[in-house]
Chains A and B, each alone.
Chain A
């Protein structure tokens, strides 16, 4: 009986800590993701495009995560931000310019390719910047 109770408590504790850990990790991830995106939009109003790297670096240095996760945070944050921003602008433009610019840059008439490459470029820069921030925190 007592054994069973102990087992139950242990089990409950185990679950609780896991969920809690999961929740704090999850929260950190989400908060970083949103912060990087929001601060990037703000920074890019006044600063050059590569200010997204600065933002991702600072955010991941302040909110400690595993380096791999930090990279993913920066990567996904700007992937979503730049992807959705360029998609939004382009669809309001009926993709008129994206057709032309994709032809000009990549010799392929594909607005979505241009949107994809836009998102990927921002994502890579922010991802590596976030990784650097994370390592700085650990060093």
Chain B
């Protein structure tokens, strides 16, 4: 009698559970997500949460104590060095597991496994670039070195010790929201993470865009639009440095002029690209220039700004060394920091180490390709890409002597190229020992140790600034770079002829460097490493302006204090505007401007050249420059292929400063010949229109216009920080753009007791439900620093220590 209602209500219950446990009907499994004992509520960390814990792990050889301070920075004290890496792995996983796995999945071309088919293009791109291939080579190199292998094994074991004790409730919130589970960590994942950094820092190339530019423009116009020389360049290693004759003699192929430079081949394709703006500043003032008499080292690497941050701050203390600084969740050791004797910092040495070769296959099977007048056998690497809720995608990638054939008719990134095949030669495919470099830097006691350490760093090439307690300072443009003939790899090269291959690597002792220079400081800001007397070809893509202002300031400064360095590191002075504004003010025809135009011109005139948050000058200048660039170059580029390099700001500015009747000022679409004054006035009128709209939206002040944001790694807006009032810009030392900028600011004064300051735009916890998720952001926004505390044994009772974790075997 009551059977029917019983079955009915049981069916309703089951239906409810299935609906609330899956995304069948609702966009999210609400029951699973909102259950107070399982779901997202479990990620809502108690504001007074304690991090005191005791652990027993048989993998440990001895005791490890971790003291967490009031900013949640762990100070790890281990009796055995490898135990320190185990605990580092454990802590990275405890606070940052989701980002570690996301970044390594992205690096491995496995994003489709998590988010489905929409990531397939990304995954194929990464597989075809050879990211996993490169990581496997790297892993072999890492595991061949006993030190690196031991540290990675311990690190991996630490990460897995955390993962294997994870309950559903303790899963990072992103796993719950997206609906997947973490997998065990491996040394390969560490290698993948490092390749991800190589992709970010050493994979930038414009070969396709430049090939199109070369094809479209006449050689004379091309040289004018894309000069390899920068008038305003102040190289990392100063002009006038004498270089010995090169040990590696490179020869341009006999056919270079006819086949390579003169080749007119229009390609239409676009690829995923790392941010071309990945830059950084570092500098060291020697004791002679500082108030204390001790060197001060400063570093701020500029990277994409994300939450959780790329960086995790910590101290590692073992009987062999005691080091503090920024670490990468995903790898052992401290990456940028200081120990009891030395300090170091890095900027990217963005040389072109990714080149393309056009491959001629015998037939569609791609089994053989024409190379040095013979058919050569192809090797294939089968890439199986798992896709969520769909069958696997199998990609058969051909490998040649150059590397993987990244582009072919089945894969063009996002556009069709026709029937051509392009193999990619990328320096990151070669073995590199970056982990050994950092491990040895962590142990370094002096300049010799630093030199021995950094020469292990091959890719990504970095400018390593260095300072030691004994007063030594140094800068080394470090990496293993191909020795190229002039113009090699600027465009796509023929792949049928070994004479176009990289002919050798620049020997380590020929890398430009400076050790205790007379000028009393060293610096780098991604500008060209050396001037044209350096005997190897350096390519053309380097930003000159930040280096210029840094060197100007350091030259003028004396009796420098760390506070002076803080002011300098957060300086919003725009040296590019300093050079370009007079050009506008001198040439503008004020009579042709309307009321608004005159008002904006007045603001531009009065501007003190600082990109401060409440200034209107930077907004006006920025809009005006964009309009000016467009007025000057739009006509020339109107019929150009869409995928083409745009001339650098420095090329346009240098061109006009050099020659006020610069060829491209004339609008080729009108019968009259336009002058600089015509273009500047036209640009100002166009800028006025746009500025009026911005003013209407209350976006005339710089911070509002720039709208700096720190995105959550999965772009979940409520987990991001938007509209931050931050000044600066591309050409300022404070190079904060809309979602890119100083990802870690550090200042180390190597006085007898080291004093250091630092801050990064994030927080130690990766959990959006923790107050430690983004608690450094406001400090970073206002240009303030935290003292970096190198804790000593015996200071366990210090008031800054809030929690203790004890690890034993």
Contacts and interface: CB of A to CB of B under 8 A. Distances in A.
Contacts of B304: none
Given A101-B718, A121-B31, A125-B20, A93 B40 contact: no
Q: What is the interface of chain A mostly: helix, strand, loop, or mixed? A: helix
Contacts of A135: 2-3, 5-6, 9
Could you say which of B38, B40, B46, B47 has the most chain A C-beta atoms within 10 Å of its C-beta? Answer: B40
A136 B719 CA distance: 46
Given A85-B41, A100-B718, A121-B30, A92 B6 contact: no
Contact of B40 (A50, A97, A132): A97
B16 A97 contact: no
Interface string A113-139: 010011001101100110110011011
Interface in B1-60: 1-3, 5-6, 9-10, 12-13, 16-17, 20-21, 28, 30-48
Contact of B20 (A104, A121, A138): A121
Q: What is the interface of chain B mostly: helix, strand, loop, or mixed? A: helix
B5 A53 contact: no
A117 B30 contact: yes
A90 interface: yes
Given A44-B38, A50-B21, A92 B16 contact: no
B47 A92 contact: yes
A132 B5 CA distance: 8
Contacts of A125: 13, 16-17, 20, 31
Nearest to A128: B13
Interface in A77-117: 82, 85-86, 89-90, 92-94, 96-101, 103-105, 114, 117
Contact of A45 (B13, B37, B177, B771): B37
Nearest to B32: A49
Contact of A105 (B28, B38, B44): B28
A105 B225 CA distance: 49
Size category, B interface = 35 or more
Nearest to B769: A97
Contacts of A131: 9, 13
Interface in A57-94: 57, 67, 82, 85-86, 89-90, 92-94
B768 interface: yes
B34 A114 contact: yes
B768 A49 contact: no
Could you say which of A121, A128, A139 has the most chain B C-beta atoms within 10 Å of its C-beta? Answer: A128
B38 A48 contact: yes
Interface string B616-649: 0000000000000000000000000000000000
B717 interface: yes
Contacts of B144: none
B30 A104 contact: no
A85 B12 contact: no
B793 interface: no
Contacts of A105: 28, 30, 33
Interface string B756-771: 0000000000001111
Nearest to A109: B718
B716 interface: yes
A92 B30 contact: no
A55 interface: no
A41 interface: yes
A132 B2 CA distance: 10
Given A97-B769, A100-B769, 7 more contacts: A50-B21, A89-B42, A92-B48, A96-B769, A97-B44, A124-B16, A132-B13
Interface of B: 1-3, 5-6, 9-10, 12-13, 16-17, 20-21, 28, 30-48, 168, 173, 177, 716-719, 768-771
